[in-house]
């Protein structure tokens, strides 16, 4: 079983549209949506939820104001500014480190396991989907991504799937690092813009740091040939292969509005091009 993770550095380059297209072609697979902050893949895959799990991570402290003597030790020692002047804990800022309960001289701080969101195992028309929803303003998205990655790899083994296909999150921080765990191939989706090229270079450094082989899909070709040339020059310099180039085409947006993958929506056009790209990715996985 192989694992492909689609990432981009910059958001909005078409990662989710491309993942939904790849979901509808290729071998038996398990699909994972690791953009737990702003998951969108389910809008196309329309999952039927089979299992739902709470995502518990860390502790949720609270201060009992009847016990609290307002000594201010907790406010003084909290490094995250998460305790208000009225001795209320602002959970959006709390890291659950436990300093407040440790320093409180009267035991006014109690802690409960923190429910930070949910994750799901679902069935879709393209295979099993593992996805999640981080609670609003919650932290630990990296840990939730790890939960999704582990569950998707487990489901892949259990179902004897040939492939785990992962929609990564934007950026280069905690969630992306977690998305890339055990990846056999990282697929960068880049558009020919100065910003996407900048972010591609950063995210490439990240995959190099973790020694993960990579390839590029250039999306929205035709808006800027100079930037396309720049991306290709960068790929050539770093010996990154280009798995495909897709034109700037409204079919992706129209497919999204119709709730379909572009392979279903436009099988003769972009859909056919996605089939070619899948063959290229397959070659790189076998290499």
Partner 1 sequence: MQIAIASGKGGTGKTTIAVNIASFIDSLGVKVSFTDCDVEEPNAHLFLNPAIKKEMNEHIPVPKVNEDACIGETCKKCIELCRFKSLIWMIDSVMVFSELCHGCGLCELACPTDAIGKGERMIGTTSQGKSGNIDFTKGLLRIGEAMSPPLIKAVKEISPKAEVNILDCPPGTSCPVVESIDGADFVVLVTEPTPFGLHDLDLAVQLLDTLGQPYGVIINRAGMGDDRVEKYLSDKNIKLLGSLPNNREAAIIYSDGGLLYDSIPGYKDELSKIWDSIQNIVNEVA
Binding site for partner 1 (CB under 8 A): 9-13, 16, 37-38, 40, 43, 58-59, 77, 79-80, 92-93, 95-99, 102-103, 134, 136-139, 141-142, 169-174, 177, 191-195, 198-199, 202, 205-206, 209, 223-224, 226-227, 248, 250, 253, 256-257, 259
Distance (Å, rounded) from C-alpha 185 to C-alpha 121?
Answer: 23
| Beta carbon of residue 235, minimum distance to partner 1 (angstroms, whole number) | 18
- Write phi, then psi, for 166 (nearest 5 degrees): -115, 130
Nearer to partner 1, 238 or 279 (CB): 238
Contacts of 276 (CB under 8 A, 6+ apart): 244
Beta-sheet pairing, 2-7 with 185-190: parallel
**Nearer to partner 1 by C-beta: 94 or 155?**
94
Q: Compute the distance between CA of residue 130 and CA of residue 118 in angstroms, rounded to an integer.
A: 11
- Closest contact distance (angstroms) between CB of 202 and partner 1 is 6
Other C-beta atoms lying within 10 Å of the C-beta of residue 65:
11
Instruction: Report in angstroms how near the CB of residue 68 gets to partner 1 at its nearest.
Output: 19
Judge contact between 31 and 161, C-beta under 8 A.
no
Nearer to partner 1, 147 or 256 (CB): 256
Pick between residue 228 and residue 273 the one whose CB is nearest to partner 1: 228
- Closest approach of Cβ 161 to partner 1, in Å? 26
- The answer to whether 6 and 219 have CB atoms below 8 angstroms apart is no
Residue with Cβ nearer partner 1 (171 or 244): 171
As a whole number of angstroms, the distance between CA 199 and CA 84 comes to 37
Whole-number minimum distance, CB 204 to partner 1, in Å? 10
């Amino acid at each position: 079983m192989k694992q492909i993770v689609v990432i981009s550095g910059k958001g909005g380059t078409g990662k989710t549209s491309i993942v939904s297209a790849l979901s509808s072609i290729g071998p038996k697979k398990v699909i994972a949506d690791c953009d737990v902050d702003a998951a969108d893949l389910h809008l196309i895959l329309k999952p039927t939820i089979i299992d739902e799990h709470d995502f518990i991570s860390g502790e949720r402290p609270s201060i009992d104001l009847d016990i609290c003597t307002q000594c201010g030790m907790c406010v003084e020692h909290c490094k995250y500014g998460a305790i208000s002047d009225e001795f209320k804990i602002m959970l959006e800022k709390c890291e659950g480190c436990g300093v407040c309960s440790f320093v409180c001289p009267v035991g006014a701080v109690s802690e409960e396991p923190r429910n930070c969101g949910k994750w799901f195992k679902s069935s879709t028309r393209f295979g099993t989907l593992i996805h999640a929803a981080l609670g609003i303003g919650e932290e630990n998205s990296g840990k939730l991504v790890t939960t999704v990655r582990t569950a998707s790899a487990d489901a892949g083994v259990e179902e004897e799937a040939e492939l785990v296909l992962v929609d990564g999150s934007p950026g280069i921080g905690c969630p992306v690092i977690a998305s890339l765990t055990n990846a056999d191939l990282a697929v960068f989706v880049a558009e020919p813009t100065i910003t996407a090229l900048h972010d591609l270079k950063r995210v490439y450094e990240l995959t190099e740091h973790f020694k993960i082989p990579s390839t590029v899909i250039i999306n929205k070709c035709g808006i800027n040939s100079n930037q396309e040339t720049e991306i290709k020059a960068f790929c050539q310099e770093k010996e990154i292969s280009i798995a495909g180039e897709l034109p700037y085409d409204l079919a992706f947006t129209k497919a999204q509005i119709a709730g379909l993958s572009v392979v279903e929506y436009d099988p003769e056009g972009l859909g056919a091009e996605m089939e070619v790209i899948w063959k290229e990715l397959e070659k790189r996985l076998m290499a």
